[in-house]
Amino acid sequence: MTNKSQRVVVTAGASGIGLAIAQRFLADGAEVFICDISAPALDTALNENPRLQGRLANVGDPQSVEGFFNQVLSTLGGIDVLVNNAGIGGPRAKVEEIDYQDWDDCIQINLSGMFYCVKQVVPTMKGQNSGCIINISTSSAKTGLPHRLPYVASKVGVLGLSHNLARELGAFNIRVNTILPGLMDNPRGRGLVAKHAEEHGLSVEDAEAEFLQYISLKSWIKPSEIGDTAVFLASDLGRHITGQELAVDGNCEWEQ
């Protein structure tokens, strides 16, 4: 998809969706630099993907983010694509029971962390008069999800961040879009179903059916599909796509 010369940064790229995105860009010939907060995960990702580059960083810490992007720019000489993937699930609680610090931590990582990263790459992208920023939200930003208020609020905030950036940066040929993943077919997604089964005295099969009943295509989403979508948005095929929310979720109608 003509991404062969692209310089790509993926946050939280050592596992899960982030690693799938990084691997998909690598397969397309791009140079890929990741960060992650987990040293073991980062070591494993770098060892198993020889062309992958990366270092430890905490996207919720502005100084850590600055240090990371200083190294990226020194190593790659520029940045063509930023994939803001890092995020946490936050607390699972009724609104009146949410701890203040848990709220702050979720907003800090999921929303402020994206701003910190964008702030670092925009001067370089403006200088190049080109760039692509892809922010990862969630299908829950459309449906809402009781007892997950900090997570959903932060991910809805990502939509606003993307919309405003697309308008502000369009004049510099910088495109900004959001991907909204659905029910992910990975250990975390499968674990959510298993936990739901345990908490409600269901078989895993019945719990899975409950999760899928409000998804139009009754489908799990593979991490590689998010990678495919990111590569498409960053390619020449997506050169006139900006300010958009692209849900890769089988059409999540509702969640409970």
pLDDT in tens, 35-50: 999 999 999 999 999 9
- Of residues 100, 116, 151, 214, which has the active-site annotation? 151
pLDDT at 1 over 70: no
Q: What is the pLDDT of residue 256?
A: 81
Q: Is 203 exposed, middle or buried (0-12, 13-18, 19+ CB in 10 A)?
A: exposed
Co-location of 90 and 178 in the same domain: yes
pTM exceeds 0.95: yes
Co-location of 80 and 189 in the same domain: no
Rounded CA-CA distance 173/185 in Å is: 34
Co-location of 126 and 196 in the same domain: no
Which two structure tokens, joined as six digits, stand for 84? 């803001």
Residue 172 within any structural domain of the chain: yes
Residue 112 within any structural domain of the chain: yes
Domain housing 196: 185-220
Co-location of 197 and 126 in the same domain: no
Residue 256 within any structural domain of the chain: no
Report H helices in the chain: 16-27, 39-48, 62-76, 100-107, 113-128, 140-143, 149-169, 187-199, 204-212, 223-234
pLDDT at 8 over 70: yes
Query: Is there a catalytic annotation at residue 214?
Result: no
Q: Is 52 exposed, middle or buried (0-12, 13-18, 19+ CB in 10 A)?
A: buried
